[in-house]
Structure 1
């Protein structure tokens, strides 16, 4: 069994198409097909079910994929560990984040870190809450900034930096636009603009409304913070979003109003693998984050 065979197998398994895998890997389709055939012959099992130009994993193929992804991650980490042991200030950090932390929290932290360690490289992955947790668990990224911070996941460990307020964003001509503060109950008859189902910020807001005995009327959905702010700016509804998301980019033609009942908040922090040691450069950044946000709370 060769590493090249494993790499080809993983790529075909992910894409479920030999030609697409060949294009991505910049090799001939025949070369991939031959290596997959050799791998299956060596193992004595079929890893794929052929369906014309497409392929699907067999049950044993799915199990093999999971094990091989872990094996490749271990090999990659071993290479990186040797390199970073020699010089951790020239390593690479793969970090994920949701759109709600993309405009202020993430850039602020990375900018401050690079002032101290200018040669460290970053590979950034923006994504949704639950997929980011899975990427950290599988080792496809090293860590992720998240809000709220999951504290009871088996495969990842969460550390909280701070707790932040969620605020109401209303069109400037909304009847309640002049209020100094709001209760969530005052918005029960409004049209809400929220993330789609399955996004954690939607869950936070829906749960807060449920505590007051109503279900928000969701008229529009946006998959990132900027889309949601834009829809509110257009007068299409109201939303509840983290206050930090409007510090550097307040939406035009809107007003921000604190929500005082219930007090809607979320924790913000970082997750790392629970059962896998951080490499030197990763640990350097992790310790920096813990110190950086601890000092931020003093101001």
Structure 2
């Protein structure tokens, strides 16, 4: 039994699929399957029920999972302890990024981090904010750039990078285009274009509508601000965006503040309070790139 086998076992257990687990650990599916079979042979028990489309743990697998995670965590802790003594940063950093996000300072921070710490294997994972937060909590993501409404998730450390109010964006020919601002009730009288549930922007919209007992029609959703702007420009609805997202399309869309939506949409980095040195090192570069408090 070795750590590689335990890593593959945990990956299959968490992904519930051999193909996705293989993609996660960057080897072939046959390689993962072979190592799991060797581990099962050494333990004298099957760890997975492979009879259905979704792989599930057997009773033996359930019993082994917590210990496998603990063994991997202990091995990582050994590396961290040595790194802290020697001043080196090595290992792997899994960085999550909310889908559709093109925040240049984050990419600047990533480039600077890679230059400063070439020994760190950086993985980038794009997903919606809810799933990224779950990944940070369970340790499959080390830190993540997420969208949130009002407050960052409980139990996680956070660095708020952007805080903006929602706006509506419409083409010049739209009936709302000559307005200076809108109320939420006036906005929801029209079909809306917004990001899907699980994103910070949508959480702000949903919360504001619930507070006023409004039920907007949202016929089209997209995970990228550019896509929402393109749909709005073609007259398919009113795009709900953050102020900076809409500003990038001010040449073709009228931007209307929502006067009665005070809840800001936040863009923040989140991570677990107990983290390894690579997270701390990346945060140093992120603070510098975003000009955040504490930047050297």
State whether TM-score is above 0.5.
yes
SS at match of 2:160: strand
Q: CA deviation at 1:191?
A: 0.3
Count residues in correspondence: 286
Post-superposition Cα deviations, 1:223-271, rounded to whole Å, max 9, x if no partner, equal 3333322222221111221223345x42774222221122341233221
**Corresponding position: 1:32 with 2:30:** no
- Asked whether the 8 Å contact 1:193–1:228 carries over to 2, the reply is yes
Q: 1:290 to 1:190 in 2, by over 3 A?
A: same
Instruction: State the match for 1:257 in structure 2.
Output: 256
Following superposition of structure 1 onto structure 2, how do residues 13-32 of structure 1 map, counting pairs within 5 Å?
13-14=13-14, 16=16, 25-26=27-28, 31-32=34-35
- C-alpha separation in 2, matches of 1:174 and 1:223: 23
CA contact (8 A) 2:200 2:266 kept: no
Could you say what secondary structure the match of 1:227 adopts? helix
- Structure-1-length-normalised TM-score: 0.77
Tell me if the contact between 2:5 and 2:36 (Cα under 8 Å) persists in the aligned partners.
Answer: no
Deviations 1:174-197 (A, max 9, x none): 111122222222112100112333
RMSD: 3.6
Unmatched 5+ stretches in structure 1: none
User: 2:266 matched to which residue of 1?
Assistant: 267
Query: After the TM superposition, which residues 155-166 of structure 1 pair with which residues of structure 2 at under 5 Å, given as runs?
Result: 156-166=156-166
2:168 is matched with 168
Contact 1:18/1:32 (CA < 8 Å) preserved in 2?
A: no
The answer (yes or no) to whether the contact 1:47–1:57 under 8 Å persists in 2 is yes
CA contact (8 A) 2:93 2:142 kept: yes
2:154 matches 1:153? yes
> What TM-score does the superposition give when structure 2 sets the normalisation length?
0.78
Answer whether contact 1:146 1:269 (CA < 8 A) is retained.
yes
Aligned match of 2:188: 188
